[in-house]
Structure 1
Amino acid sequence: MIERFVRRLLRARLLAVTVTGPSMEPSLRDGDRVLVMRRHPRRLVRGHVVVLGPDGDRRVPGTGPRGLLIKRIAAAPGDPVPPPLAARLGCPPGSTVPPGRLLVLGDNPPLSLDSRHFGYVAQERVVGVAVRSLRCLPAGG
Structure 2
Amino acid sequence: MLMVAGAALALAGGALLVLRRRLLLVTVEGESMEPTYAAGDRLIVRRTTLAGVRRGAVVVLAAPAGAPATDPPLLVKRAVALPGDPVPGGIPVPDRRVPAGRLVVLGDNADRSADSRGRGFIPATDVVGVLLRQLAPPA
With the shorter chain as reference, the TM-score category is 0.7 to 0.9
Post-superposition Cα deviations, 1:83-107, rounded to whole Å, max 9, x if no partner, equal 222xx3244xxx1100000110000
Q: Secondary structure at the match of 1:84?
A: coil
Partner in structure 2 of residue 113 of structure 1: 114
**TM-score (norm: length of structure 2):** 0.86
Partner in structure 2 of residue 2 of structure 1: 11
**Which structure has the larger Rg over C-alpha atoms?**
2
Name the amino acid aligned to 1:132: R
Task: Give 1:60 deviation, angstroms.
Answer: 5.7
Q: Secondary structure at the match of 2:108?
A: coil
Identity %: 44
* Count of residue correspondences: 130
Q: Secondary structure at the match of 1:42?
A: helix
Name the amino acid aligned to 1:118: R
CA RMSD of aligned residues (A): 1.7
Structure 1 runs of 4+ off > 4 angstroms? Answer: none
Post-superposition Cα deviations, 1:23-70, rounded to whole Å, max 9, x if no partner, equal 0011111000000001132122210111101323x1167632xx1111
Q: Secondary structure at the match of 1:83?
A: coil
**TM-score (norm: length of structure 1):** 0.85
- Residue 127 (str. 1) matches residue 133 (str. 2): no
Give me the whole-angstrom Cα distance separating, in 2, the residues matched to 1:130 and 1:32: 12
Task: Give 1:72 deviation, angstroms.
Answer: 0.3
